[in-house]
A = this chain, B = another copy of it.
Amino acid sequence: MNQEISFIQREALKEKPATDSLGFGKYFTDYMLVMDYHSENGWYNPRITPYEALTLEPSAMVFHYGQAIFEGMKAYRTADGTAQLFRPEKNMKRLNDTCDRMCIPQIDEDFLLSAIKQLIFTEKDWIPQGEGTSLYIRPFIIATEAYLGVRPAKEYKLFVILSPSGAYYGSQLNPVKIYVEEQYVRAVIGGVGHVKNAGNYAASLKAQEKADRLGYAQILWLDAKENKYVEEVGSMNIFFKINGEVVTPKLTGSILPGVTRDSVIQLLKHWNIPVREERISIEEVFAAHERGELEEVFGAGTAAVISPVGELTWNDKTIVINDNQIGHLSQDIYDEMTGIQLGKKEDPFNWTVKVAQVEV
């Protein structure tokens, strides 16, 4: 795909919100990237256009049969004032994997990435300054065809919207209380849990509501077939440090292949810390704790980077991990990853991608 990206200028720019009021996903920048799909044209008319409401027919298929998918990534402001992305080609690839599973037409990954860079370059003044902040990037695709038959739509719209985001943590990482869910499941093999389909998140709300009610920060999901193997924590992948070795659930088909997960694994290998991807049962986790070998537990995802788990409750048993303190390894990974993302540390893996005028 080698299309010209048109630019539609807005009349007046918005006022930028104060950094300490940002939170997550509330404010959006002046412009967005939009592209249309029609089965007769393929993807066409890529444009950077004012961020504004869209108009859809009540019969637009996205409202009825849920063909809606997304990605989540961040642009960081480096010390030298340039914008930087973290492994964005992985998000482009995963977007296409999601498209494939949800019968949405494939996107040209290189084209989309260069269009996103152009958008971010246009909006570079929106990347917040300040510890832990970033510009959140949300690509998404929805089925727009006006038709009520159950089949893949023939018309779609792709959007990329940008939202300046505040720091996830205050001055330090916060260990959280987690609850092992046995009634509700997130995903099953043969289903859609390995992709970023909108419906997965709607389906997860009920369990999150239950966790909130019971006073837990997040859910630890078990596999749907046996209710036995650990899958993910909230919307993050999960890692266990047991007796000096790190274990994370292997990608069996119901787990989202996180970019952060993959990066943590590479980092551990680079550091010569043993790391294994394998199925791990919740019994094993509790047994390791019993033996005094469960050293650290943490979630890994774009939003928090690393989220230490301080307490884990399974039925009526609660275990406290590492005295409810951030583990050394969790802290080291967090520091290294955020250091690389912000351009403060060396990037031996070539993970970061600069956003510069020349790219576009």
Contact = CB atoms under 8 A, between A and B. Distances in A.
Interface of A: 24-26, 28, 32, 51-59, 62-68, 70, 101-103, 136, 138, 140, 142, 147-152, 159, 161, 163, 183-185, 188-192, 197-206, 208-209, 224-225, 227, 235
Contact of A101 (B28, B54, B63, B206): B206
Given A26-B147, A198-B64, A208-B151, A224 B190 contact: yes
25 contacts: A25-B59, A26-B147, A26-B148, A28-B58, A28-B59, A53-B56, A53-B57, A53-B58, A54-B56, A66-B66, A66-B68, A66-B197, A66-B201, A66-B203, A102-B202, A136-B148, A148-B163, A151-B208, A184-B190, A185-B191, A189-B224, A191-B191, A199-B202, A199-B203, A224-B225
Nearest to A159: B58
Q: Taking the full assembly, how many copies of this chain does it contain? A: 2
Contacts of A192: 199, 202-203
Given A148-B163, A197-B202, 19 more contacts: A26-B148, A28-B58, A32-B58, A52-B58, A53-B55, A54-B57, A62-B63, A65-B205, A66-B199, A102-B203, A102-B206, A103-B205, A138-B148, A150-B208, A151-B205, A188-B224, A190-B227, A192-B199, A199-B199
Contacts of A67: 202, 205
Given A66-B199, A102-B202, A148 B191 contact: no
Output the residue of A58, A159, A188, A227 with the most chain B CB within 10 A: A58
